[in-house]
Chain A
């Protein structure tokens, strides 16, 4: 039986819900071993059953719709406390979930389903859903909540309120006016910190008079003290936290607007608000800048201490100073971490937007895509997350447009009709790695080469010598697009070079790997923040430079014997790999090639630096140390100096230049012969 598109969509969405359902049930089964299962989970399962019923009804699959309806009824009873979850019921619910999976499989394969089993389980579920004797709908007492808030409570929410009050769990309300521009992120954060310590009962949005905010009243139950609640909520904003149950407490004028909107005559409110303030991200940047300066001052102090130690030995004042410097160091790190924490936002928001884009794109292009996300809780600097939206959307669209095949073609190639698009984010040291992979057709080497030749990205002479990795990297070249026609979704005349440029702007790297017929994986490596970076301080061509640690893969000792000339280009042989050699004097002082002759013959160092798949060896004379630095712009006149990212201070008032590895590597690779010659790792 061939399925039409709507049926495939139904199957995919239903299968996803059944997966959630069985995961949720396993969780409930685990929880009930040590007490009553969490109401939130029970409600979640109720919703899954509800969605499944809706879907099955929509597609006219009556047996499944009835089964889901009974499961929904059972969980409605459970969540409203009318039914108790026994071992037998749990068994039954598991059997029901298995049956859903089997019904979906039957449907997919065009088999007739076993109607008797479905009827039997449906009937047993109906019996299990019978309310227990003495169960009554709960009534909650007086609550200090606005009538609008009470009116919008569903039966379930009302029941949860009553249950919490019955168990003497205090009920609270957070009143949060969130900026219209960004309320999704803020509300998610607020919900997260509250859900960690309590049960959220309702989130009621309302309109404020200025039109700049959306007011959210979050009502929740928790046993933790008010101070602890405030401490959790405080970092997110100055929101009034009030207990709404029990004896009335002295009502204080709750601030309902952030500081910048308060009237001058609103003095009482201003006093209340001195606990917390909403902060503009630019102010955080400023603060981070000051911490950066502190870091530098500490560097200077450490240097003076070391000099003192070498002069008078480790004794007397030198010991005291040494200890003080260490304490200062720790406090500065704490401060830096604290400020950084404020700037961090989870990637989940971006992934959600991605999911929407993917759905739309897939529908437009008539493809089926399953989207998987791992690591949505991974945090990154807010500014980086903002900048990441476009590149990720582009990669997603690109994967669906060029990577994932049509369902027909996929089936013909022995794949499942729905393509899989997977985004995985995880932290690694001071970096966050985001992988975007699909199981589509992969990158067609021949087609890439042909296009590269047509567009003059590479010439006839070199195209034959490119390795697979080098070919893949051609797709990042400006103006490259393997599609002949411009497609509506991802072919707006911009290619992956824009993605690469954007990622580089954030000091990130992008890599691509592909297996023809099996799929493509893009890997983006990003620093957690741009505010302060770690750098290696090096001496090279008689000058001191800072080399951002993020782009250094390793630093090795080199002998003259390791350097080779291949086709007139200087290359470094390293563990069987050949890397092009970068000499700063050659780049910064063309014509004075003799400046660093000292390296020749003598032992020096090479920093292996990388830009995506491009690697090069930067010859350096000495490694002086490692340090946190704050990059300062060179200003409008010098700002465009090639190979220089900016300047920074060392602790001893010395100003040094920070190398722009990305620019240096591309410069070297292009300057070779006026064509892109890439060298893969």
Chain B
């Protein structure tokens, strides 16, 4: 496999056999903004660790923020250009689908990659289908592991064509 990959934030990644060792930063831009949405503090802490680890293993730089409710998520999405959204479906004030829908309604920067991961310990096939329609590219079980996230992230940024045409995660 040999392809040119666009990382969020405009970093160009020349991916060979291994993703980690050939990262080449072509432009100095602010690292992409990632948002973790979950009403459980422990779950957020765990997701953050996993995401940090996964990003580090891919040589990806991310700014990671957290939101503890749908409203906090809306605030964060409205004030930052969130490129990576990790969201739980069940929350007290809004559902993950509503957050995803809002995220999709935001204006998007050109050449940037926008990806969402739905994290839930249980999602019905119907709701997962809806989440995909709302732009979720990947569904991960709780507890979130760094390995699973790393695989998902590598998938995101290694297949821009599939992502643009709405391929399956």
- A contacts, CB < 8 Å to B: 6, 9-10, 13, 44, 46-47, 50-51, 53-55, 57-59, 69, 72, 148, 151-155, 157, 180, 183-184, 187-188, 191, 202-207, 214, 356, 359
Q: Is the CB of A205 within 8 A of B102?
A: yes
Residues of chain B within 8 A (CB-CB) of A46 are 90
User: Quick check: is B25 within 8 A (CB to CB) of the other chain?
Assistant: no
Q: Is the CB of A58 within 8 A of B142?
A: yes
Residues of chain A within 8 A (CB-CB) of B143 are 54, 57-58
Q: Is the CB of A153 within 8 A of B121?
A: no
Q: Is the CB of B74 within 8 A of A51?
A: no
Q: Is the CB of A206 within 8 A of B102?
A: yes
Residues of chain A within 8 A (CB-CB) of B39 are 51
> Complex formed: what's the CA distance from A59 to B98 in Å?
29
Select B42's contact among A9, A187, A206, A207, beta carbons within 8 Å.
A9
Q: Is the CB of B98 within 8 A of A187?
A: no
* Chain B 85-96 interface mask (CB, 8 Å, partner A; 1/0): 000111111110
Residues of chain A within 8 A (CB-CB) of B120 are 50
- Selecting from B6-14, B53-61, B126-134, B154-162, the interface stretch reads B126-134
Q: Is the CB of B94 within 8 A of A203?
A: yes
Residues of chain A within 8 A (CB-CB) of B45 are 9
A205 with B92: in contact, given A58-B43, A155-B124 (CB under 8 Å)?
A: no
Q: Is the CB of A151 within 8 A of B71?
A: no
Given contacts A203-B98, A204-B98, A356-B68, 6 further A-B contacts (CB under 8 A): A9-B42, A13-B42, A44-B92, A58-B46, A187-B71, A202-B98
Q: Is the CB of B142 within 8 A of A148?
A: no
Closest to B73 in A: A205
A348 to chain B minimum Cβ distance, whole angstroms, is 12
Select B74's contact among A44, A54, A205, beta carbons within 8 Å.
A205
5 CB-based A-B contacts, threshold 8 Å: A54-B142, A57-B143, A58-B42, A58-B142, A207-B107
Residues of chain B within 8 A (CB-CB) of A72 are 122
User: Quick check: is B32 within 8 A (CB to CB) of the other chain?
Assistant: no
User: Quick check: is B100 within 8 A (CB to CB) of the other chain?
Assistant: yes
Closest to A46 in B: B90
A183 with B89: in contact, given A72-B122, A148-B101, A207-B107 (CB under 8 Å)?
A: no
* Chain B 102-131 interface mask (CB, 8 Å, partner A; 1/0): 100111000000000000111010110010
Residues of chain A within 8 A (CB-CB) of B71 are 183-184, 187-188
| Most central of A9, A46, A151, A157 by chain B CB within 10 Å | A151
A207 with B142: in contact, given A69-B122, A202-B98 (CB under 8 Å)?
A: no
Q: Is the CB of B90 within 8 A of A47?
A: yes
A-B pairs, 9 with minimum CB distance: A58-B143, A152-B101, A205-B102, A207-B105, A206-B105, A54-B142, A152-B97, A205-B74, A54-B121
User: Quick check: is B30 within 8 A (CB to CB) of the other chain?
Assistant: no
Q: Is the CB of B127 within 8 A of A155?
A: yes
Q: Is the CB of B100 within 8 A of A13?
A: no
Q: Is the CB of B122 within 8 A of A50?
A: yes
A180 with B78: in contact, given A72-B122, A153-B97 (CB under 8 Å)?
A: yes
A interface majority secondary structure: helix
Q: Is the CB of A203 within 8 A of B42?
A: no
- B contacts, CB < 8 Å to A: 39-43, 45-46, 68, 70-71, 74-75, 78-79, 88-95, 97-102, 105-107, 120-122, 124, 126-127, 130, 133-134, 142-143
Select B134's contact among A55, A69, A152, A207, beta carbons within 8 Å.
A152
Q: Is the CB of B95 within 8 A of A157?
A: yes
> Complex formed: what's the CA distance from A204 to B126 in Å?
19
Q: Is the CB of A207 within 8 A of B75?
A: no
B49 to chain A minimum Cβ distance, whole angstroms, is 10
> Complex formed: what's the CA distance from A44 to B92 in Å?
7
> Complex formed: what's the CA distance from A180 to B78 in Å?
8
Q: Is the CB of A13 within 8 A of B41?
A: yes
> Complex formed: what's the CA distance from A627 to B120 in Å?
60
Closest to A180 in B: B78
Residues of chain A within 8 A (CB-CB) of B106 are 207
Q: Is the CB of B41 within 8 A of A148?
A: no
| Most central of A13, A44, A152 by chain B CB within 10 Å | A152
| Most central of B39, B89, B92, B100 by chain A CB within 10 Å | B92
A155 with B126: in contact, given A57-B121, A206-B101, A207-B105 (CB under 8 Å)?
A: yes
Q: Is the CB of A214 within 8 A of B74?
A: yes
Residues of chain B within 8 A (CB-CB) of A10 are 42
A454 to chain B minimum Cβ distance, whole angstroms, is 40
> Complex formed: what's the CA distance from A187 to B133 in Å?
26
A55 with B42: in contact, given A72-B122, A152-B97 (CB under 8 Å)?
A: yes
Closest to B44 in A: A359
> Complex formed: what's the CA distance from A55 to B130 in Å?
25
A151 with B43: in contact, given A54-B121, A54-B142 (CB under 8 Å)?
A: no
B11 to chain A minimum Cβ distance, whole angstroms, is 26
Q: Is the CB of B130 within 8 A of A154?
A: yes
Closest to A10 in B: B42
Q: Is the CB of A154 within 8 A of B127?
A: yes
Select B40's contact among A51, A183, A187, beta carbons within 8 Å.
A51
Q: Is the CB of A203 within 8 A of B105?
A: no
> Complex formed: what's the CA distance from A151 to B136 in Å?
13
A627 to chain B minimum Cβ distance, whole angstroms, is 43
> Complex formed: what's the CA distance from A183 to B76 in Å?
12
Residues of chain A within 8 A (CB-CB) of B126 are 155
Q: Is the CB of A152 within 8 A of B130?
A: yes
> Complex formed: what's the CA distance from A187 to B91 in Å?
16
| Most central of B39, B99, B142 by chain A CB within 10 Å | B142
> Complex formed: what's the CA distance from A14 to B99 in Å?
25
A153 with B90: in contact, given A58-B46, A184-B75 (CB under 8 Å)?
A: no
> Complex formed: what's the CA distance from A54 to B141 in Å?
9
> Complex formed: what's the CA distance from A356 to B65 in Å?
13
Select A153's contact among B78, B105, B124, B130, beta carbons within 8 Å.
B130
Residues of chain B within 8 A (CB-CB) of A148 are 101, 105
Residues of chain B within 8 A (CB-CB) of A152 are 95, 97-98, 100-101, 130, 134
Q: Is the CB of B102 within 8 A of A207?
A: yes
> Complex formed: what's the CA distance from A174 to B75 in Å?
20
Closest to A50 in B: B90
Select A50's contact among B100, B105, B121, B127, beta carbons within 8 Å.
B121
Residues of chain B within 8 A (CB-CB) of A69 are 121-122
> Complex formed: what's the CA distance from A187 to B70 in Å?
11
Q: Is the CB of B41 within 8 A of A9?
A: yes
Residues of chain A within 8 A (CB-CB) of B89 are 154
B146 to chain A minimum Cβ distance, whole angstroms, is 13
Closest to B40 in A: A51
Q: Is the CB of B92 within 8 A of A13?
A: no
B50 to chain A minimum Cβ distance, whole angstroms, is 10
A214 with B78: in contact, given A54-B142, A205-B102, A207-B105 (CB under 8 Å)?
A: yes
Q: Is the CB of A154 within 8 A of B95?
A: yes
Q: Is the CB of B40 within 8 A of A55?
A: yes
A514 to chain B minimum Cβ distance, whole angstroms, is 29
Residues of chain A within 8 A (CB-CB) of B142 are 54, 57-58
Select A54's contact among B43, B68, B102, beta carbons within 8 Å.
B43
A203 with B41: in contact, given A151-B134, A155-B126, A155-B127 (CB under 8 Å)?
A: no
> Complex formed: what's the CA distance from A53 to B133 in Å?
27
> Complex formed: what's the CA distance from A296 to B107 in Å?
53
> Complex formed: what's the CA distance from A39 to B63 in Å?
38
B40 to chain A minimum Cβ distance, whole angstroms, is 5
Residues of chain A within 8 A (CB-CB) of B88 are 54
> Complex formed: what's the CA distance from A151 to B129 in Å?
10
> Complex formed: what's the CA distance from A72 to B45 in Å?
23
Closest to A80 in B: B124
